[in-house]
A = this chain, B = another copy of it.
Amino acid sequence: MRAGSVAKRLLVGRPLDSARLGETLLPKRIALPIFCSDPLSSVAYATEEILLILALGGLAVLHLAWYAAVGIVILLLVVVASYRQTCHAYPGGGGAYVVSAENLGTTPALIAASALLIDYVMTVAVSVVSGVAAITSAVPALDGHATLLSVAFVALLAWLNLRGVRESGRWFALPTYAFVAVIYLMFAVAAIRMATGTPIRAESADLPVHPVPAYSGLALVLLGLRAFASGCTALTGVEAISNGVPAFEKPKSRNAATTLAVMGGLSVTMFFGITTLAMVYDVHVAEDPTELGLAPGTPTSTALAQIGRATFGDWHVLFYALQAVTAGVLVLAANTAFNGFPMLASVLGRDRFAPRQLVHRGDRLVYSNGVVLLALTAIALIVAFDANLTRLIQLYILGVFVSFTLSQSGMVKHWRRELATPAGRPGHPDRSERRRIRRRQAINAFGACLTAVVLVIVLVTKFTHGAWIVVLAMPLLFATLKGVRRHYDTVAAEVAVAPGIRPRPLAENHVLVLVGSVNAPSLRAVSYAKTLKPATLTAVTVAEDPAEAEELGAQWEAHGIDVPLRVLNSPYRSVVQPVLRHIRDAPQRTADSVVSVVIPEYVVGHWWEQPLHNQIALRLKARLLFMKNVVVIDVPYLLASARQVGADTRTLVDPD
């Protein structure tokens, strides 16, 4: 089994299936691109989002970008250090939901889950829109079609995932490593060119930046904090590795922690490098070209595209390569959400906060529902926000920091519990261990405090700019998850039987076979009904007019069917009503007898044949469900098209 298919299984399928996967786990060099395309790719837009916010204050405040960048780098290092502890504590995988559930309780865990679910949607929307921005920066002719392109990309991703794309390790590795390589190459070229005395300026360096209002005092501080909050997008996706620890080669926790550190190093250097170049080149960006003194509708480039164009100058090939790998890694980052969403849904399903059928993620149908739901929500967001990255970003970071804070707080409690293990019990830490645990706890505590502070900053600075939508959506999701659990608990209580209660026996089974005409499916249904050895067996038909009934009766006799045929008249062509009435009024019904209605069912091979058959049976069944002591039995008859499909799928062993 190749590493790629392992990767797929781990992301999509069965992370707990260690018996089968023990021998084929991920080396660090494959795990890095698989788990880190999201956090690494976010450096492609983080710098720009800082500059866009600061542009509101005019040229004079652009230098604040330095402070924002330094703050983000520190934050990133702290969060990475903090999550490294999670890798050590949860070798079985420690997502924010799991850690919160185990250490903080149900409510914080569900808050984390709501935040994560929303964030998966945002990851798809933001990454794809940003990837499209990389494309339109390289091909300005596409500038007016960002929404359409973004929607098309989401649809493409959904389609690939629905078809069950087999991502190979290379697939994951290539764009991510290529992105890192091109960014570092750009840094090298920039350094060499500037060292040799060539001054490099961005295409927008001489454009004016029109501040809308004048900022000073508290307003200026708030603007700086808002820029910082927007730049925090660089941190999204950091938790992915802590989630995927079981996928690593042994020693799992150590390898995961090392990979996380490498990711942190790459993120920090790339982000800081890009921000530095943006400042040195005097990159100016604004939400609207008119703010830069350009005509309305002038196509503008992303900050990263401007840096690339300025750095590579005449080497157009490298510029286009930069844009291509940026788009590639961003689309890949969006794809991780298509894997993460069903993974979290599965855990929620196991804990009965989500429909139980989500537990088994391997199932195509269930997985498809998740993919479609995720894609539609992301598309709705993209269309509603007109593929405007800056406005979408406002909704993004809030959920990330909610889950960061909860996860790190949970870790603090986790370590406290470890420390509290009484002497003599297994797991009681010795002195040196206690010291180590205390250090880890301190790191997590610091991480929790810092991310909580950032959460407040994000909430305050972004609330009116769109974050309120998330503040509204999270409790709704939370209530839904809670409601599902309550429903399951209510039902479980309702169907519980007291100990010792025995099944109440049913006396007799009266069987009706519903037939429309004498044909192979009907004959089969009659044969099946006979195997039930019922107390009474009657065939029932609904006739629109007496002639029809007479003809059927004649055929019935001609075929020598030794089951009495009862004709129900239905001048109104309804099949359901007469049958319902017949069953209700059947004289042989007693309190402890049961009526079984046998219906021939046509099994077809193609989805489009489905609505052409069995609809009356479906409707009848829907009504009979609510009648006491009535059971409907569909006896399938395979049509030729279905036999073909059956031949293909009768290999019942999991084809995977």
Contacting pair B521 A495 (CB below 8 A): yes
Interface size on A, residues (CB 8 A): 96
Contact indicator B635/A631 (Cβ below 8 Å): yes
Interface of A is mostly: mixed
Decide if A530 touches B505 in the complex (CB within 8 Å).
yes
- Indicate if A587 sits at the interface (CB-CB under 8 A): no
Given known contacts A526-B503, A626-B645, A532 and B509 CB-to-CB distance under 8 angstroms: yes
Point out the residue from B484, B584, B603 that lies within 8 Å of A625, measured CB to CB: B603
Assess whether A425 is interfacial by the CB under 8 Å rule.
no
A526's nearest neighbour on chain B, judged by CB, is: B503
Q: Mark A357-371, 1 if CB is under 8 A from B, else 0.
A: 101101101100000
Shortest C-beta distance, A195 to chain B (Å), equals 55
Instruction: Decide if A422 is an interface residue (CB 8 Å cutoff).
Output: no
- Copies of the protein in its oligomer: 2
Give CA–CA (A649, B623) in the complex, Å.
Answer: 9
A646 contacts which chain B residues (CB < 8 A)? Answer: 626-628
A199 interfacial by beta-carbon distance below 8 Å: no
> What mask results when residues 502 to 537 of chain A are scored 1 for a CB within 8 Å of chain B, else 0?
111111110000000011110110111011110000
Q: Is A296 an interface residue (CB 8 A)?
A: no
Residue A561 at the chain B interface, CB threshold 8 Å: yes
Q: Please state if B561 and A503 are interface contacts (CB–CB under 8 Å).
A: yes
Q: Are A494 and B640 in contact (CB under 8 A)?
A: yes
Q: Does A634 make an interface contact (CB < 8 A)?
A: yes
Q: Which of A137-145, A287-295, A468-476, A611-619 lies at the interface?
A: A611-619
Q: Which of A601-645 contact B (CB under 8 A)?
A: 601-603, 609, 611-613, 615-616, 619, 622-623, 625-628, 630-640, 642, 645
Query: Does the CB pair A360–B559 fall under 8 Å?
Result: no
Q: Is A574 an interface residue (CB 8 A)?
A: yes
Residues of chain B lying within 8 A (CB to CB) of residue A508? 531
Chain B residues with CB under 8 Å of A635's CB are 631
Residue contact B571 to A355, C-beta cutoff 8 Å: no
Give the residues in chain B near A363, CB-CB below 8 Å: 574, 576, 619
CB <8 Å contact, A362 and B503: no
Are B603 and A626 interface neighbours, CB within 8 A? yes
Does A547 count as interface, using CB distance less than 8 angstroms?
A: no
Q: Of all chain B residues, which has the CB nearest A535?
A: B531
- Kindly supply a per-residue 1/0 record for chain A positions 337-359, scoring 1 wherever the CB is within 8 Å of any chain B CB and 0 otherwise: 00000000000000000011101
Instruction: Closest B residue to A603 by CB, please name it.
Output: B625
Report which of B487, B495, B576 forms a contact with A520, defined as CB distance below 8 A.
B495
Closest beta carbon of chain B to A17's beta carbon, Å: 6
Contact B558 A499 (CB under 8 A): yes
Beyond A561-B502, A642-B626, whether A631 also contacts B631 by CB under 8 A is no
CA distance A356 to B612 in the complex (A): 7
The answer to whether A625 touches B636, judged by C-beta atoms less than 8 angstroms apart, is yes
Question: A598 → chain B, closest Cβ, in Å?
Answer: 9
Complex alpha-carbon distance, A531 and B504, angstroms: 12
B residues less than 8 Å from A492 (CB atoms): 519
Cβ B484 vs Cβ A503 within 8 A:
no
CB-defined contacts of A499 to chain B, threshold 8 Å: 558-559
User: Per-residue CB proximity of A549-590 to B under 8 Å, as 1/0?
Assistant: 000000000111100000000011111110011001000000
Query: Once the chains bind, are A488 and B612 in contact (CB under 8 Å)?
Result: yes
Contact in complex: B650, A559 (CB < 8 Å)? no
Chain A residues with a Cβ under 8 A of chain B: 14, 17, 19, 355-357, 359-360, 362-363, 365-366, 484, 487-488, 491-492, 494-497, 499-509, 518-521, 523-524, 526-528, 530-533, 558-561, 571-577, 580-581, 584, 594, 596, 601-603, 609, 611-613, 615-616, 619, 622-623, 625-628, 630-640, 642, 645-646, 649-650, 652-654
Q: Can you name 10 extra interface pairs (CB under 8 A) apart from A508-B531, A626-B638, A626-B645?
A: A17-B571, A355-B615, A365-B619, A502-B559, A504-B524, A504-B527, A506-B531, A528-B594, A628-B646, A630-B636
- 6 residue pairs of the A-B complex, CB under 8 angstroms, read A355-B615, A528-B594, A531-B594, A577-B654, A603-B626, A633-B633
3 nearest A-B residue pairs (beta carbon): A357-B615, A626-B646, A509-B531
